[in-house]
A and B are shown apart, each in its own frame.
Chain A
C-alpha cells in the first residue's frame, strides 16, 4: 500500500506544503484538498516542497494545473522546490519548467515571494 501525506507549514505569509510518498490518481485528492483549504483561507503564496516525494504520475501533476490560474489571479503563485531527479524529469517531459518556477531549496522559493513583495511595495511608493 503506497502512502502519501502532506503537511502545511506557515513561513510568514507563505504556506509551504511538504509532500511525502507516492502521488498518483489515488492520493491526488489529498493534495487537492490542501490547495482548496489554502485558497478558501485566502492564502495564495504557496511553496510545494518535494523533498520526500518518491513518485509522481500525471494525476499528481494535474493538481498543480488545476489550481495555478486561480492562485495567480489572486496575486499569488505555486513555486516548487527540492525535487529529486526522477520527479523533476517527469515535470520536465511535460514542459512544466516553462509554467512554474522550480528552486533547489525551500528558502530560495520563500525568499522569491518576499522579494516580489518588496518590489511591489517600492512600486507603490
Chain B
C-alpha cells in the first residue's frame, strides 16, 4: 500500500465477546470516509467481527484477558485491516469451506465465519509466528 494520504487507526481490546460491538463501531466509524459504499462498510464490519470471534473462541479458547489489536489503514485504492493476537497458533488451511448439507447432517456449526470473511473481502491472509503472534489481514479494494 502506498503512503499517499494514508489514514491509520488502531484499537486494542480484551478477548471478550462483549467487545464485538465496540470493534464493529470502531470499524464503521473509522471507515466512514474511506470511499466505500455503506454495504461494503457493513461487509468489512462483519468480516472483522468474524475474525475476532474466531480469535476469542479458538486462539484464546475463551480466555477473557487476551489482547486483540485491530489496525485499520486505507488510501484511495485499498482498505487493509490487520488483526493481531497472541493466542495459540491456528492453521487456516485446515479449515475447509463449509458444506452446509454436511453440517446439517453432522450438527456442526464451525467454519461459517471463515467462509464469510473470504466471501466478503477481496483478500484474506494469515501470518503466524508460532509462540509469538498471529495476524489476519483483510483487504478490500476501493473504487
* Contact call A58/B112, Cβ cutoff below 8 A: yes
| Max chain A Cβ within 10 angstroms of own Cβ: one of B42, B100, B101, B112 | B112
B53 to chain A, nearest CB (A): 4
Q: Which of A1, A61, A69 contacts B107 (CB 8 A)?
A: A69
A93 on the B face (CB < 8 A): yes
* Contact call B21/A65, Cβ cutoff below 8 A: no
Q: How many residues of A contact B (CB 8 A)?
A: 24
B83 to chain A, nearest CB (A): 15
* Contact call B116/A58, Cβ cutoff below 8 A: yes
Q: Which of B21, B42, B109 contacts A2 (CB 8 A)?
A: B21
Closest residue on chain B to residue A4 by CB atoms:
B21
* Contact call B49/A24, Cβ cutoff below 8 A: yes
Closest residue on chain A to residue B17 by CB atoms:
A26
* Contact call A61/B18, Cβ cutoff below 8 A: no
B122 on the A face (CB < 8 A): no
B46 on the A face (CB < 8 A): yes
* Contact call A24/B113, Cβ cutoff below 8 A: no
B39 on the A face (CB < 8 A): yes
Chain A contacts of B73 at CB under 8 A? none
Chain A contacts of B110 at CB under 8 A? 62
Q: Which of A24, A58, A96 contacts B17 (CB 8 A)?
A: A24
* Contact call B21/A1, Cβ cutoff below 8 A: yes
Closest residue on chain B to residue A65 by CB atoms:
B109
Q: Which of B9-66 contact A (CB under 8 A)?
A: 17-18, 20-21, 24, 39, 42, 46, 49-50, 53, 56-57
* Contact call B104/A24, Cβ cutoff below 8 A: no
A40 to chain B, nearest CB (A): 18
Further pairs besides A24-B49, A57-B53, A98-B100: 10, Cβ < 8 Å: A2-B20, A25-B17, A25-B20, A26-B17, A55-B46, A58-B53, A59-B113, A69-B107, A90-B116, A96-B100
Q: How far is the CA of A96 from the CA of B107 in the complex (A)?
A: 14
* Contact call A58/B113, Cβ cutoff below 8 A: yes
A-B contact pairs, 9 of them (CB 8 A): A24-B53, A58-B112, A59-B53, A65-B103, A65-B104, A65-B107, A90-B46, A93-B116, A99-B104
Q: How far is the CA of A109 from the CA of B98 in the complex (A)?
A: 28
B115 on the A face (CB < 8 A): yes
Q: How far is the CA of A68 from the CA of B42 in the complex (A)?
A: 28
* Contact call A2/B24, Cβ cutoff below 8 A: yes
Q: Which of B49, B53, B98, B109 contacts A66 (CB 8 A)?
A: B109
A75 on the B face (CB < 8 A): no
